[in-house]
Structure 1
C-alpha cells in the first residue's frame, strides 16, 4: 500500500527523563531528519536506542500521523502535537500502524517492509508503544489519555537501508497474530535471513 513518511527522527539523547515538572532535556542537535539510515539488529544510526541490547526489539518506533490529527481534534489545534514532541522515529500517514503490534501476551507483531525509494527495509513489529505521562506536559493536558491505543509500535529492524520523507510503499509480509507463526524457530518466527527476503 502507498503511504507517506511524514516525519523521521533520530535523537541522540533521551529528552523525557526524570520528573516532567523539571522539563525535557534539550536535544544537542535537531532530531528531525530528511532521511535516516537503518541498520539491521541495531536501529537508526545516531538515535538513542540504536545498539542497546535492552532495546533490540524496540529500536525503531513508528507512529500514525492520524494519531497527531486525533490529538488536535480532541485537544485543539493550539496543542504541540508534533512528531518531535512524540519522540517516535518514523511517522506514517495512511498506514495501520497500531494494528502492526503484537496482540496481547504470546502474540507476534507483523512482519513488514517499508520502501521510500532506496529499497525495502524489513521490520518485525513487537509491542505497542504506550504513551507516557510526559505527553500531558509536553503536548497538552489530556494528551496521555487521548493517545492510549494510538501510541504507535516498537519494531526490530531486520535489514540495512535508508528511509526518506515522502511517498513510500508499505508491504505487510505477515500480519500480527495471536499465536507466533512457526513457534519454536526463535524470536524472528522462522524468517529467512535478511538478505534473502523480497517484497
Structure 2
C-alpha cells in the first residue's frame, strides 16, 4: 500500500536504535539521538559528507528473520546500520521518501548489501542470512534531530500527488 492509497500517513514503525561509527572498522556506538545534516548525513558518522550514502536504515523485523535463518541473534549494532526501526519493512525502491520525527526527510538510494565482514563479526553464514534483509541506503533531503522513539513514516515525494 502506498501513502496515496491510505487515509493517513503509512507509519513504518518507531526508531528502536541509533548507531554511528567515527571511522571505518571502528565499533558502532549507540546513541539516544543523532544530528542529521541535509546533503551530508549523520554528524560524527564515518559516511558524513559522502555523496549518496548518508544514512542506513534497517528493521528489527528483518533482523529477527535473519536470526532465524542464521540460528543466532543478530544485534542491531553489529550490522553497521545507523537507524533500526522497531518493526515493519524498510522501503527499498529508489526515490521513495521517508520522514523520521518532525524534520528529517530521507530518500531511498539503494538496497544496502550485507558486507562479507559480517561473517567475521557475527559468524559464518551471517552475510547470507542478511541478504535481502540488510536494510536500505538513504540520502538526506532535510536534516534535523532523530531520537529513539521517533515515528518513521512513508511520504509521497513532492510533486507526486495526483496524475496517475
Q: TM-score, normalised by structure 2?
A: 0.82
Deviations 1:9-51 (A, max 9, x none): 1110011xxxxxxxxxx44xx6110100000001000000001
Tell me which residue corresponds to 2:95.
Answer: 109
Tell me which residue corresponds to 2:130.
Answer: 147
| Greater relative contact order structure (CA < 8 Å, 6+ sep) | 2
Structure 1 segments (4+ residues) deviating >4 Å: none
- 1:68 aligned onto 2:63: yes
What is the alpha-carbon distance in structure 2 between the residues aligned to residue 150 and residue 135 of structure 1? 13
Mark the runs of 5 or more structure 1 residues left unpaired by the alignment: 16-25, 103-107, 175-190, 193-199
Say if 2:62 and 2:89, in contact at 8 Å, map to a contact too: no
Q: Which has the higher helix share?
A: 1
Mark the runs of 5 or more structure 2 residues left unpaired by the alignment: 1-10, 160-164
| Selected match of 1:34 from 17, 20, 32 | 32
Q: Which has the higher strand share?
A: 2
Count of residues in correspondence between the two structures = 149
63-72 vs 126-135, greater mean Cα deviation: 63-72
What is the alpha-carbon distance in structure 2 between the residues aligned to residue 149 and residue 49 of structure 1? 22
Say if 1:13 and 1:48, in contact at 8 Å, map to a contact too: yes
Deviations 1:47-84 (A, max 9, x none): 000012xxx2211111111122123212334x4x1122
The within-5 A match list for 1:125-164 is: 125-164=108-147
| Aligned-pair Cα RMSD in Å | 1.8
Deviations 1:94-151 (A, max 9, x none): 2321xx223xxxxx33112111xxx231111111000011111111211111111111
Say if 1:113 and 1:173, in contact at 8 Å, map to a contact too: no
Q: TM-score, normalised by structure 1?
A: 0.69
Q: Evaluate the alpha carbon distance shift between residue 109 and residue 2 of structure 1 in structure 2; reply closer, same or farther with a 3 A threshold.
A: closer
Say if 1:59 and 1:156, in contact at 8 Å, map to a contact too: yes
What is the alpha-carbon distance in structure 1 between the residues aligned to residue 152 and residue 108 of structure 2? 17
Q: Evaluate the alpha carbon distance shift between residue 172 and residue 94 of structure 1 in structure 2; reply closer, same or farther with a 3 A threshold.
A: farther
What is the alpha-carbon distance in structure 2 between the residues aligned to residue 173 and residue 120 of structure 1? 15
